Amino acid sequence: MPSSLKKGGLPVNDPVQSRDPVQTGGPVEFDAIVVGAGPAGSAAALVLARAGLDVALVERGPFPGSKNVYGGVIYGRILDELIPRWWEQAPVERWVTRRGTVLMTPTQSLTIDYRTEAWGEEPYNGATALRPEFDSWFADQAVAAGATLVSSTTVTGLIHTDQGGVGGVRTDRPDGDMLAPVVIACDGVNSFLAKEAGLYPHFDSSHFTLGAKEVLALPRDEIEKRFGLAPGEGADFEIVGCTGEVPGGGFVYTNLDSVSVGVVLGLDGLAAAGRRPEEYIADLKAHSMVAPWVQGAEMVEYSAHLIPEGGYDAMPELFTDGMLVAGDAAAMTLAAGIWLEGVNFAIGAGRAAGTAAVRAIRRRDPSRAGLAHYQELLEANFVLADHRRMRATPGFILSERVQRRYPQLACNLAESMFTVTNPTPKPGMGAILRREAKRAGLRGRDVLADIRSARRMFG
């Protein structure tokens, strides 16, 4: 290996010690190249390195996580086999013990608020985390196993073999071509590598949303007081009905010393509305449910990021000769209302991609047929099984009835039920339901059709 590419990588959160440029006077050869040091890329590189293969993990930012944005809750069961007892070392913020699903109108909110002590104990269910810290830590696991981290390096295109397959990548460094029989594209949403390889024939803006968030600083004891949490515990609220005329949703997550508040907005609807994402965040922060949580907090970060929410039907082809696609680059985000998950799917896909690449390299068959094992692995685990079962969910969740009419119905029903009507006798439940359904513009046949759809997707 050239002296300019030594084993080892960045210390966590230390961008000053970024990898030296790749300048060798000619292409550098590896067994595999992973593009993107997010959760999918680091999982793939970890598997490859542990198999004893020479793998490069290429990251365009100065350190892993520096370019990544998410809400964010990490569900760690997928890490159990990769890094046993990961919770003892991973840089998490809080263990989520309070989970709320909120239906909201401009003046109302109805929350299904679940708490459990079990999620605050080993092996834990989910945790809030900050991506710069988590991604750096996860990439360090791959580096410790033997992967070569090449940061501050942008991959600008693919190198093709004489047979037409992928045989490496071009970078923005002088003499920075990198060769390998297998390239794993984990280059994030709107993957230009997948597009260049011809794997995205149906790319459409309707399959994407824009996630925008503010991180608001508060003292940790104040966060625990406002959200009713014990030290170290966290809360996660997912919200429907808070984005007005634009299909989408919102979220509130507690970090150790801050609260993340954000919205997810359909691209087409946002363009038509003519408003900026931060205006929707401002509306959410001003809502009577959220305002007491964030009062007096100082904004320390604003970020925005495209999210692939088209589900199974929006995925590209996942492999071709010499290349696999994983994580956000493969649209592997489950946005199903009840479940809003991405990092765990990225790690699961990255692990499968690494496993398939090891097999193909050892068999000296990086062809499409040789890499088809990747599809088999994804079919056998939760990544594609969950996406396929809920393939109709994105359209359902972003529909006008789910976005606006059902939140209005649910909130009005609760208000009618809990409003004391003395001296008038209390109305019957059937009468309340009929009246509020009519007010929300819902027809019985539409409600029944939606119930049947929901049963097929979630049943």
Q: Alpha helix (H) ranges present in 241-342?
A: 267-273, 277-286, 291-294
**21 has a pLDDT exceeding 50:** no
Q: What is the pLDDT of residues 231-281, one digit of tens each?
A: 999 999 999 999 999 999 999 999 999 999 999 999 999 999 999 999 999
Q: Which CATH class is domain 92-129+205-308?
A: alpha beta
Residue 344: what pLDDT? 93
Residue 5: what pLDDT? 41
Q: What is the pLDDT of residues 91-123, one digit of tens each?
A: 999 999 999 999 999 999 999 999 999 999 999
Q: Which residue has the higher pLDDT, 68 or 429?
A: 429
**158 has a pLDDT exceeding 60:** yes
Which residues fall within 8 angstroms of residue 159, CB to CB, at 6 or more apart? 166, 167, 168, 169, 170, 177, 179
Kindly report the average pLDDT of the chain as a whole number.
Answer: 90
- Residue 126's Cβ-count burial label (10 Å; 0-12, 13-18, 19+) is buried
Regarding pTM above 0.75, the answer is: yes
Question: Strand pairing of 92-105 and 126-129?
Answer: antiparallel
Dihedral Cα 230, 232, 233, 236, nearest 10 deg:
140
Contact between 349 and 368 under an 8 Å Cβ cutoff? The reply is no
Q: Above pLDDT 90, what percent of the chain?
A: 71
> What's the mean pLDDT in 71-89?
91
What is the phi-psi region of residue 62: left when phi exceeds 0, alpha when psi lies from -120 to 50, beta otherwise? Answer: alpha
Of the pLDDT bands very low, low, confident and very high (cuts 50, 70, 90), residue 1 is: very low
Q: What is the pLDDT of residues 182-206, one digit of tens each?
A: 999 999 988 999 999 999 877 677 8
> What's the mean pLDDT in 126-151?
96
> What's the mean pLDDT in 394-398?
85
Of the pLDDT bands very low, low, confident and very high (cuts 50, 70, 90), residue 175 is: confident
Q: Which amino acid is at 248?
A: G
> What's the mean pLDDT in 416-441?
87
**327 has a pLDDT exceeding 90:** yes
Of the pLDDT bands very low, low, confident and very high (cuts 50, 70, 90), residue 159 is: very high
Helix axes 39-50, 343-362, angle to 10 degrees: 30
Residue 71: what pLDDT? 62
C-alpha distances out from residue 409 to 106, 180, 304, 402, 453, Å: 13, 56, 31, 10, 18
- Distance in angstroms (rounded) separating the CA atoms of residues 320 and 299: 44
Residue 15: what pLDDT? 32
Least confident stretch, 149-163, 189-203, 213-227: 189-203
Dihedral Cα 195, 198, 202, 205, nearest 10 deg:
10
One DSSP character per residue, 25-47 reads SS-EE-SEEEE--SHHHHHHHHH
Least confident stretch, 281-290, 322-331, 383-392: 383-392
CATH 3.40.50.800 fits 15-68+132-202+316-390, yes or no: no
Contact between 54 and 205 under an 8 Å Cβ cutoff? The reply is no
Instruction: Indicate the domain borders of the chain.
Output: 15-68+132-202+316-390, 92-129+205-308, 399-458
152 backbone dihedrals φ, ψ, rounded to 5°: 50, 40
